[in-house]
Structure 1
Amino acid sequence: MRPVFVLVAALLPVVHGALLLGIPSEQLAAGNTSVPSSFSKSAAPVSTFTSSANSSISNAPPTSPAVGMATVPRKRAAIPACLKTVELSCLNLAANCIDSVNAGNVNTLWSIKSCVAAATCYGVGDLITSVECQTGFVVTNSAQAALPSSIYNGIVMGCTSCAITQQNYIDFYYGQLTAVNSANFPSSIDVVKAFWSAITTWAATGSTVPYMNFNDWLHFSSFPVTTTTTTTPVTTFTQITWNPNPAPTSGAVSETFVTSTITVIIAIPTATTSVVVGGISITLAPGGTPINNPLPPGITIPGATTPTWNPNIIPPTSVPSVTFTAPPSFTTIVAVPTASNSPPKNITGPPGDKNSDGDNWWLLVFPGVIDGLLPADIGIPGGVKPTAAPPPDWTGVWTDPDPTSTSTHNSASASSSASSSSSSCPQPTAAYSLSDDDENSDWEDLGSDPDRRRSNIMTNVARAGGRSMAFTDCEINKANGNLVTNPITVDLKAGTYYTIGTKAAGGIGIALNPIVVNDRPVGNGGGTVAQEHVFEIGYIGQFFKSIKNQGVSCAWIVNNVYDQDGWDGRKWALSLLQEIDQVPNMVWVDKAMNQAKSNVVNQNKATAADPPQMANIKKISDFTTTSSVNLIQDIEYFIRNLAAVGTYFGHTAAIFQATALRVQNCLAQITPNTPDVNLPVAFNVWLRTLIQTYPLGCTSRATNSFNYYHNRMTTVANQLNNGVVPQCFPLFPVAINPTTFTWQNLVPPPPNLPTCNIPGTEGILQLGVNPNGAAEKGVDTYRVMGAGHADFYGLGIGTDFMAGSHFVAGSLAQYPSCGNGAVVVDLTGPGTPAGLPDVLFSPQCNGQTGKQTVPFSFVLNGQTLSCTLIVTVAGKNSPVEIICAGSAAVAVTCANFFLSNRYPTGHLLTGPMMFIPS
């Protein structure tokens, strides 16, 4: 017998090969108006699979890029802090809307299609609030110009006298998602219908909404509750003890004020203005610097440049020694160095004592001044405490940040003492200029590095075009000119900056601090801060190298990934690249942290004999020349960053895991030509094996670099300086304590996919056994497919899950005795009727791998189905119905109903369904 699938009710067959497949006509009719006619799985699907990590603003470029505030005519992207948390497709529309707003159209929002669409899901008032937050303008709903007739006519398909129907609105909503290149579509058509229902409820005009009522809804349905503020505090709020006039960073277009309970964002002012933060009015100069008074306690400006003041006591002058005291009984007397070239004296405070930098040591240098910061409880009998001088360009009343200072000691003498201190030890340059290890200079052979920093970092201008991804082992690389390149340039603006502080601050601290910034931070000078991918693009090349080393051919990798079209028409390789090259996968880091991370990620410089920065450490030649001293200071800063790289991995673990999960899910969508490797499973195993080496890799590299540096400094001291290393280099005399992290937090959960008959496996179906004891086998060859699922596969005929065909389910709830039953049929993918859920495939492997003849089950919405098959007509070439339900009893009852009412000459099959691989 050659079974042929049929329809339970009135037939609408879809024929391919030898199988006739279908679904109830009433089910088809129910889905006719669920999605726009131009919207199909082959174009921009409402996917049945949605990554849990895909929860950020789309990185796809808006069709109408953003323009800045009235006084800043340059383009800028939506500030994440200005957006509220909503359904992702709606968030994409809102982001595109505020990207598109400038001084010229701030009161004509409804002339921007994405703004109209966003208002319907985001809320009119909330959208206005987000626009105010983005631009700094004060606007209202009622101030908006009327909805242009051209946009309304587009919604109603040119019927100017018609009211908007639900289907008009659905078409418009999905059309705008396509227009803005949204990466996210609604998880269900019901989501969009709910947006429309809220509008019709307000308009009270029935199931349709005429122009006047829709225009009224845009102007009067809701209002912004406030301007410029959001209710969520910045999580990195810290109290700043003395912060009189922090200056916004160069190039910033907005300024953020934070308290423990509120955040206020304004445009950078171009004239003297005031801003109210938590009930306190702050006067700002043009450019955003607070004036007339210090910034009130409890308010901070994240990312701003803050002046510093050294409150050290100035020791008595012309004395041979200085006495340091602290309660209850600490006293130490230190001789003053006698000449300008005398080495500084290192003094350590009582155990547990700390200064504001977290250290408990300081230096006494010629002619008796202090270098470094004293702990707060250290006193110097006979010393004087300097009065703080106003920072540069301060205007208005000056308030001493430390009223206990010695008022008779003027700011000039304080400045003099500071210059004396700085002359005793060479002061570090602001810029960090340590070159990369040669093998870390760029990942160009693996694709472009996160910041494309070798060509643009000194100018802070992004290289034209997007980033690329390569696989040198299979000749996909820069040299051959066939890199996989992202057509979209993705750049981080507002984001988190992870830093241990500037090089010039010195010290031995390795505490890594997250700081919220609005644009590229200044760091150690122009070009010393890079935007960094947390999960690197180069990992893709590393992964495919690993499976190639296990025997998978380059031809298989190229044909099935790099050259294979994906579900949406992109190559799978480009899909993988774009899952990584996203703003949510980016942070700002100092160049030294970028270098430190590269050693761990590239798995190089792993031995004590060849540690990170060995070549530069070997260049240390003396302790007096400017070039050598700056080199030493750069090396100490790098080693401190290397010691903090474990903390970096820990802080960014959630970002890393979310991006890795997107990549894993993308690999789970691929259906290869042959089942050489299970891509998502192999990826998770490879990543897990790699990342568990990172904690030790971080700590051992930092220890090795520090030891190599310490030995080099000792060697130079023995050769040139009587074995003495000057106390100008604080890291040298301490023991480094590198940080580590929990590696499991970086790796996504492994896919729980069946181990046999993996995607790419082909075979036929045995549908059961007939009353004569003969097996009923189909003649069509089916392919196991990647369905983008962590637990199950797809099954169908064609190249992959979204082309050709795969199984779907039609509800049988309308039939007596069928309850939650469903008919399972195989339908052509791009032509599948809307609203029919996918049915997945679960072979019962029982620990077996490879191609195996095994029973299988169908799975619907995560539930394994029990199925009963009907041979509808006795004899060969009989059509077959697959009746399934959540329980065997319902499936049998439902099947018997159809057997007795529709197929009196048919019979039920017994035994399990079997997959028989070719």
Structure 2
Amino acid sequence: MVVPPLASLVPVNTSLSTAPAPSSGVASASALASSIGQLFTLVPPSPSSVVTSASTVASSTRWLPANASLGAKSPTLNKRAAIPACLDTVELSCLNLAANCINTVDSDTMNDLWGISSCVAAATCYGVGNLITSVECQTGFSITDAGQASLDYDNIYAGIVGSSCAFAPGGCPITQQNYIDFYYGTLTAIDTANYPSSSAVVIVWWDAITAWAATGSTVPYLNFNDWLHFSSFPSVTTTTAPPVASYTQITWNPNPAPPSGAASETFVSASSTLVIAIPTTTTTVVIVGASITLAPGGTPVNGPVPSGVSQPGATTPTWNPNIIPPTSVASVTFTAPPSYTSVVAVPTASNSPPQNITGPPGDKNSNGDDWWLLLFPGIIGGLLPADIGIPGGILPTAAPPAGWVGPWTDPDPTSSSTSTSTSSASTSASSSSSCPQPTSVYALSDDSENADWEDEGTDPDRRRNTRSKVAPRADPRSIAVNSCSLSVVNTVAVSLGPGTYYSIGLKALGGTGATLTATQVGSRPVGNGAGTVAQEHIFELGYINQFFTVAINAGITCAWIETNVFNFVREDSSNLGIALLNAIDQVGNMVWVDKPMNQAKSNVVNQNKASAASPPQSTNINMITDFTTSANLIQDVEYFTRNFAALGSYFGATAATFQATALRVQNLLAEITPTTPDANLPVEFNNWLRGLIATYPTGCTSRATNVFNFYQAKMNSVSATIGAPVPACFPLYHSTTYNPQSFAWANLIPPAPTLPACDIPGTQGQIQLGLSTTGTPIMAFNTYRIMGSGNTNYYAFGDGASLVGSHFVGQDLSTLGPSCQGVWDLGLQTGPSGNPDANIALNCNGQSGNDVAAPFTFVINNQQLGCVTLNSGVADGGGVDYYVFCGATVAAAATCATAYQQANFPQGSLLGGSLQFVP
């Protein structure tokens, strides 16, 4: 069967040539000849020099941007902020140097760390081996200390010791003062506000270097260079800061409290028994000659009850009197009089081993131990000695015993005064029947920072009007790059009807639960009232703005984004900006959630309200003034706080949808062939998303904890102001089991692209077709372009601007006979066709950048093929025709090509060597 030629395969000279007629009597060769079009025409400068040398041909046709010069580097997106998970916990100035170092390293400098000042300075305090491990974690590169280039003598070493000294005969070594000046000078250069507490801290690191080098009190260049390559100096995980004068003294009175609901309480000694009614005011009783002061409710105060006095039926409160360290800190400072100070790094992950801490010599806690533990994320295990303080810490409020109902009085009050208001408040809160009935409607407003990227508020199907009120949306949604004033608006409004409803239950039910359940509903649920249930995008529209804002910060221009992304024309002639929006704004990426869950998620996604001093909903929490008129506000706050505790479960439950949507976006970005090779968008997107979502688990739990602590502190403040205990009406306040939920963030991330690291889409160059029989490289004269293919494993290839233009495809030659089973005829074609695209697999050989000469193989239907090139030996229009055959193996391709050559071009030959892309 004769297969028609690939009609639109365009040779270099733009005319489609057909193969010469075969000799008579070769039927299979005739069929083969009529089906294969010449692929390349090599057009030499003159008939006598078809090929000179690869370098000559390449340099004469090398592509350069109009505004670039040879060797110019294009800005990349791979310089992003240091990933926290890639950093060790060390002294703060050292941590800033390490973060600057790993954020500076890119593909051009990964083996030249000692040419970057912050990397050299960081190595001295952070440790060479640990720094390289952190750089590998950040970049994904494989790096060794021995593989690093030598320390930059001219730009770094000479700056340390001084130019006049460095370039004098014999040079000169580094002194201790040289090192101190270099360390502090590098901190100034990176514009950090964090410096060592004293030069003594820096001298400790210098002493470690001199001890390793064994060259006395100074270190020459060669020895310091050796130290950078072979020391693997360990990091410093704890440091001792100067004494901090202030400390917090813990006081606690663990006296028994009468059982809940009791009408009387009993005191028994060896000689007498005393029974009194539960007092409603501060009361004093006398037994065995000793006075006992009782707080309203009957708990003894002002010291333990006398020895030998018992209280039948009473309950001793249990409480961990440890100070709560400040939240979201990398280290905790412990102090004790007169001068004890210890700064201890907080473990960085839930599976990190706890830090074991020993207090001042001879110091004991109530358990008789002289040690305690610091656990992730700042929790203290074991009791602290009574004289240990934590500057900036929080004194916890005593909680009632487990199962307690009714009123609760702190057994360690700051005052024993009697007041009518205290008595009245205590009496009014004596039973749950006095608690106001919760309203069904949830009414907390959004945090002001959560207007979101398109002024939508936290409900994506409701829009804010000019007076900051929220009204139902009537218009389609959009994606945008706000700093560029770029946006794409959907052509239709997308609304969720039947779908999954994630909820912890209605506000009116109250309680302390934060268990998330999923329910299938046919339309918007009623929830907690009108406008309190939102249709929520799982993968947010705003991620487009966030991603390209990072790109702009890395050097990509608004014009580049507009041309190469929002206005990019896909292979089917549709618009990529609209495709990105439609990939996100669809019902498959939506669920129903209660408004407080959506508000909580907005804080995490917008990365705001992360401070313990100003947590989510702090504005509304601060509006609490008492326990009666503010009761509904308090119930709203407790409902919001419980939803925040369930946010981790929400992320975990919707992970598959998030990943699928992110993958759609990633694949669309993989279609792009930019006009200039400034960013490998699918790779950068995956890296950016991975770094962002990795912060979410801690972002959820820390914010939820901050809200709970802030709320409890506010309630305590109100209680002290009005002189009344916090009623049992507010169960979350009294809860001792508030546990914000985390999730496995990696489940949200699509598989990372395995695209080659070199010659990214937009890179232009030539093709080396192979080697002649004399070993001369044969270069195609045309200019070709690496293209986005929509495939995250392989690039497309052609001589057009993108897949809309001319690019390589394959025509199946299997119908031509046994010699060509599974073999493809490669050629150029414009736009979509019935033929599969022929992508390429570049072999970067560990190199990166856009000037790498890389061998490649063609890929059809995700199968890498073996290819051979046929030199027909026939001139056509001043050039020579070349054909590329590809099969499952090089041998299979060669069998087909040889049959064609023998039948049609006896003067021709197959080229040796492999295909190579030469920028």
1:853 aligned residue: 853
Aligned counterparts, 1:214-293, within 5 A: none
Deviations 1:70-118 (CA, angstroms, capped at 9, x unpaired)? xxxxxxxxxxxxxxxxxxxxxxxxxxxxxxxxxxxxxxxxxxxxxxxxx
Deviations 1:330-378 (CA, angstroms, capped at 9, x unpaired)? xxx9999999xx9999999999xxxxxxx98574599xxxxxxxxxxxx
Alignment of 1:618 onto 2:613: no
Distance, in Å, in 2 between the alignment partners of 1:858 and 1:619 is: 67
Cα deviation for residue 829 of structure 1 reads 1.9
Cα deviation for residue 838 of structure 1 reads 1.6
Cα deviation for residue 617 of structure 1 reads 1.1
1:514 aligned residue: 518
Distance, in Å, in 2 between the alignment partners of 1:471 and 1:771 is: 55
Change (3 A) 1:641 1:820: same
1:60 aligned residue: none
Distance, in Å, in 1 between the alignment partners of 2:574 and 2:276 is: 71
Change (3 A) 1:449 1:907: farther
2:478 aligned residue: 468
Cα deviation for residue 431 of structure 1 reads 0.5
- Aligned 8 A contact 1:450 1:536 in 2: no
1:18 is aligned with what amino acid?
Answer: N
Matched position secondary structure for 1:492? coil
Aligned counterparts, 1:448-467, within 5 A: 450-454=460-464, 463-467=473-477
1:496 aligned residue: 500
Cα deviation for residue 853 of structure 1 reads 1.3
Question: Of the candidates 681, 684, 687, which is equivalent to residue 686 of structure 2?
Answer: 684
Distance, in Å, in 2 between the alignment partners of 1:505 and 1:348 is: 32
Question: Of the candidates 434, 441, 460, which is equivalent to residue 424 of structure 1?
Answer: 434
Aligned counterparts, 1:374-413, within 5 A: none
Change (3 A) 1:818 1:320: closer
Alignment of 1:781 onto 2:783: yes
Distance, in Å, in 1 between the alignment partners of 2:277 and 2:567 is: 74
Deviations 1:849-876 (CA, angstroms, capped at 9, x unpaired)? 1221111110112221111111112456
Distance, in Å, in 1 between the alignment partners of 2:678 and 2:276 is: 73
2:597 aligned residue: 593
1:556 aligned residue: 560
1:848 is aligned with what amino acid?
Answer: Q
Change (3 A) 1:462 1:437: closer
2:476 is aligned with what amino acid?
Answer: G
Deviations 1:822-851 (CA, angstroms, capped at 9, x unpaired)? 211112224x3x2x2221111111121122
Change (3 A) 1:893 1:708: same
Higher RCO (Cα < 8 Å, 6 or more apart):
2
Distance, in Å, in 2 between the alignment partners of 1:559 and 1:11 is: 32
Question: Of the candidates 572, 579, 604, which is equivalent to residue 575 of structure 1?
Answer: 579
Distance, in Å, in 2 between the alignment partners of 1:636 and 1:688 is: 32
Change (3 A) 1:23 1:663: farther
Question: Of the candidates 709, 717, 720, which is equivalent to residue 722 of structure 2?
Answer: 720
1:862 aligned residue: 862
Matched position secondary structure for 1:732? helix
Deviations 1:233-290 (CA, angstroms, capped at 9, x unpaired)? xxxxxxxxxxxxxxxxxxxxxxxxxxxxxxxxxxxxxxxxxxxxxxxxxxxxxxxxxx
Distance, in Å, in 2 between the alignment partners of 1:597 and 1:587 is: 13
1:873 aligned residue: 873
Distance, in Å, in 1 between the alignment partners of 2:809 and 2:3 is: 15
Task: Please report the RMSD computed on the Cα atoms of aligned residues, expressed in angstroms.
Answer: 3.7
2:764 aligned residue: 762
Cα deviation for residue 598 of structure 1 reads 0.5
Question: Of the candidates 462, 486, 489, which is equivalent to residue 490 of structure 2?
Answer: 486
Cα deviation for residue 606 of structure 1 reads 0.9
Deviations 1:535-560 (CA, angstroms, capped at 9, x unpaired)? 00000000001111111122211111
Matched position secondary structure for 1:883? strand
Distance, in Å, in 2 between the alignment partners of 1:636 and 1:707 is: 12
1:545 aligned residue: 549
- Aligned 8 A contact 1:784 1:794 in 2: yes
Distance, in Å, in 2 between the alignment partners of 1:591 and 1:853 is: 55
2:172 aligned residue: none
Matched position secondary structure for 1:731? helix
1:72 aligned residue: none
Unaligned stretches of 5+ residues in structure 1: 1-6, 31-318, 324-332, 352-358, 367-419, 477-482
Q: Higher mean Cα deviation, 17-26 or 489-498?
A: 17-26
1:636 aligned residue: 638
Among all aligned residue pairs of Structure 1 and Structure 2, give the percentage whose two residues are the same amino acid: 49
- Aligned 8 A contact 1:854 1:916 in 2: yes
- Aligned 8 A contact 2:459 2:595 in 1: no
Greater Cα radius of gyration, structure 1 or 2: 2
Aligned counterparts, 1:310-329, within 5 A: none
Question: Of the candidates 894, 898, 903, which is equivalent to residue 896 of structure 1?
Answer: 898
2:848 is aligned with what amino acid?
Answer: T
Deviations 1:197-249 (CA, angstroms, capped at 9, x unpaired)? xxxxxxxxxxxxxxxxxxxxxxxxxxxxxxxxxxxxxxxxxxxxxxxxxxxxx
1:39 aligned residue: none
Deviations 1:719-752 (CA, angstroms, capped at 9, x unpaired)? 1024x11111101122321000000000000000
- Aligned 8 A contact 1:695 1:741 in 2: yes
- Aligned 8 A contact 2:457 2:464 in 1: no
- Aligned 8 A contact 1:808 1:827 in 2: no
Matched position secondary structure for 2:544? helix
1:271 aligned residue: none
1:704 is aligned with what amino acid?
Answer: N
Matched position secondary structure for 2:739? coil
Question: Of the candidates 789, 802, 805, which is equivalent to residue 803 of structure 1?
Answer: 805
Cα deviation for residue 689 of structure 1 reads 0.2
Change (3 A) 1:561 1:20: same
Deviations 1:874-910 (CA, angstroms, capped at 9, x unpaired)? 4561211111111122112221111111211211111
Distance, in Å, in 2 between the alignment partners of 1:29 and 1:447 is: 65
Distance, in Å, in 2 between the alignment partners of 1:618 and 1:29 is: 84
Deviations 1:456-491 (CA, angstroms, capped at 9, x unpaired)? 9x9998522310112112122xxxxxx311011111
Matched position secondary structure for 1:642? helix
1:440 aligned residue: 450
Deviations 1:664-706 (CA, angstroms, capped at 9, x unpaired)? 0110111111110000000000000000001111110011111
- Aligned 8 A contact 1:684 1:750 in 2: yes
- Aligned 8 A contact 2:450 2:457 in 1: no
Cα deviation for residue 28 of structure 1 reads 14
Distance, in Å, in 1 between the alignment partners of 2:5 and 2:586 is: 48
2:907 is aligned with what amino acid?
Answer: T
Distance, in Å, in 2 between the alignment partners of 1:673 and 1:448 is: 37
1:434 is aligned with what amino acid?
Answer: L
1:838 aligned residue: 837
Change (3 A) 1:825 1:559: same
- Aligned 8 A contact 1:839 1:859 in 2: yes
1:733 aligned residue: 734
- Aligned 8 A contact 1:665 1:790 in 2: yes
Distance, in Å, in 2 between the alignment partners of 1:644 and 1:657 is: 20
TM-score, length-scaled by structure 2: 0.54
2:257 aligned residue: none
TM-score, length-scaled by structure 1: 0.54
Change (3 A) 1:776 1:812: farther
2:604 is aligned with what amino acid?
Answer: V
- Aligned 8 A contact 2:865 2:886 in 1: yes
Distance, in Å, in 1 between the alignment partners of 2:759 and 2:811 is: 22
Deviations 1:176-204 (CA, angstroms, capped at 9, x unpaired)? xxxxxxxxxxxxxxxxxxxxxxxxxxxxx
- Aligned 8 A contact 1:437 1:613 in 2: yes
- Aligned 8 A contact 2:457 2:463 in 1: no
Change (3 A) 1:702 1:461: closer
Matched position secondary structure for 2:547? helix
Aligned counterparts, 1:65-214, within 5 A: none
